[in-house]
A and B are shown apart, each in its own frame.
Chain A
């Protein structure tokens, strides 16, 4: 039984005076306990909205959320607001993109971690602070006794993200949603944070939904990858499958547009032409068609269905069949439990981990 089963989740922004906009369109995926899945796509493809919809954090007015979000067979979308509030932070934790602005600037970080423990576990302030210290220690913040009393502005970006992770993991949630947790950080800190996340996930058996545009993050961390485009899942496959043989032209384009160190100098990047807002002006058809090199007539006639071929789900009329030239560099043979730092194999400088 999956821990989280998202079925046909749709989010439509329907403000008065504007035309309705479908940000998430019938997205379905499952997360098993202890599994790490990735939601990958460009800016504006509905990744963050999907996570906010799962958490029930979208505003009530002007937003229609339909479908089912089954968490241990309970539909979170049908839960009353106060029950959902009890579950947030206790059963499902969330880490945000910008650690600079996601901590309360006027409250010491120890109190912010303790607040979650007091809220969900009914702990008194003193034991909660003691446990907060343990948590800060566990997420690798040096000298937690001193840091406990410090304000967010006194911490570095990496430490703030660690503190945020401590708040999200304080009650040992069974599911952790990380919304671009490394985007605002330096590459060296990124590697540390990703290693920390992977260790915590392995230790506690927490399932992780990793939302990112960074394929390097996915390559290092995720078991299964969902590629989103314009609010729809266009391809879902196991990590090795996806990187060794991307079938959707969009996935292929994403992989080709990553700069690489193992190619001769001067090799031009192959960006995907156009941008997300290039769309066909009628509702039917593949949203990626205007930017696609493999476009055929069928693409613009009707929306391709998401076809499950056993080992991958694919929404494409004319998929890529040949193995791409870059396949070996992605280390498709690497198993998820490899001890190498995340992001290796993707085009990034791998920095030796500091303990």
Chain B
């Protein structure tokens, strides 16, 4: 009798372990599995991966100092901007600096602006959104009307006005301006998911256990509400990069003309379009590719975690 019971217990435990291993798949695990099967996501991920590698190893990849003037005499003699030639695959820019080296080193600037603008926007948006979603009532109303006002203004226009208010702009001006523009989107999204969490069974269960309010918000609601916001952050990286490039193109960023930055390079190339089209084409291609990479990955992530697409 006891042996039978022992045997049954053992068998049940094995069964339980087996069903637990295959039975449930977490939200992110499931999303990752579907992402890896989506060619669009893979293209996006490859673009972003190459871009990040480029930014990290930029000094090793460039044959020349991106800030040093070279081939100056060639230009002085011919009056033209030298095109591709041995040692300079893409030629030099209007100041005689190695164009490829500048293009590569500018990826760092883009990554820096994109990541920091998004992170700061995400941080502020998370605070506003979770306060609104967790407490509701007048906090919610106040925060959301503020967010509505910001959303009503076109984002680039808002960013331009923010930068224009600063006396001595530098690269952080652009980062902060783009971050502020991103904030309302994150706040609004998180508020919605937090409200849904507030009504959820596990939050009710946590309340029934007497868990303190801040623990409920920080440990039980916020981690469960973040998934869509993190996906949105990937998409926001693309818009941040585009907005930042647009701001420097308009000459609202760091006034230092030596800075290697795709938007700035594009603006400078405008004056030399007749002499060299290549100077305008490559920065534009770079901006488009990076924005495309983040958009593709972000969109496929959004599809992957959308429960409606679950099969």
Contacts and interface: CB of A to CB of B under 8 A. Distances in A.
A150 B210 contact: no
User: Which of A55, A104, A115, A153 counts the most chain B CB atoms within 10 A?
Assistant: A104
B208 A355 contact: no
Interface stretch (A89-97, A232-240, A265-273, A299-307): A89-97
If over half of B's interface residues share one DSSP class (helix, strand or loop), that class is named, otherwise mixed; here it is: helix
Contacts of B206: 104
Given A120-B210, A354-B9, A155 B20 contact: yes
Contacts of A152: 24
Contacts of B209: 88-89, 93-94, 115-116, 119, 167-168
Interface residues of A, number: 39
A115 B13 contact: no
B202 A103 contact: yes
Q: What is the size category of the interface that chain B forms with chain A?
A: 20 to 34
Interface stretch (B57-65, B217-225, B234-242): B217-225
A101 B201 contact: yes
A335 interface: no
B267 to A, nearest CB: 46
B210 A90 contact: yes
Given A154-B21, A156-B23, A119 B212 contact: yes
A159 to B, nearest CB: 7
B205 A142 contact: no
Nearest to B15: A156
Interface string A156-197: 101100001001100000000000000000000000000000
A153 B24 contact: yes
B9 A355 contact: yes
Contacts of A120: 210
A40 B5 CA distance: 34
Nearest to A86: B210
A104 B5 contact: no
A155 B16 CA distance: 8
Interface in B1-47: 5, 8-9, 12-13, 16-17, 19-21, 23-27
A168 B21 CA distance: 26
Given A168-B208, A354-B5, 17 more contacts: A85-B210, A86-B210, A93-B208, A96-B204, A102-B204, A102-B205, A115-B219, A120-B210, A142-B16, A143-B13, A153-B23, A153-B26, A155-B24, A164-B205, A167-B205, A354-B9, A355-B9
10 closest A-B pairs by beta carbon, nearest first, are: A153-B24, A89-B210, A88-B210, A89-B209, A101-B201, A94-B208, A102-B205, A106-B223, A142-B13, A102-B201
Interface of A: 55, 57, 85-90, 93-94, 96, 98, 101-107, 115-116, 119-120, 142-143, 150-156, 158-159, 164, 167-168, 354-355
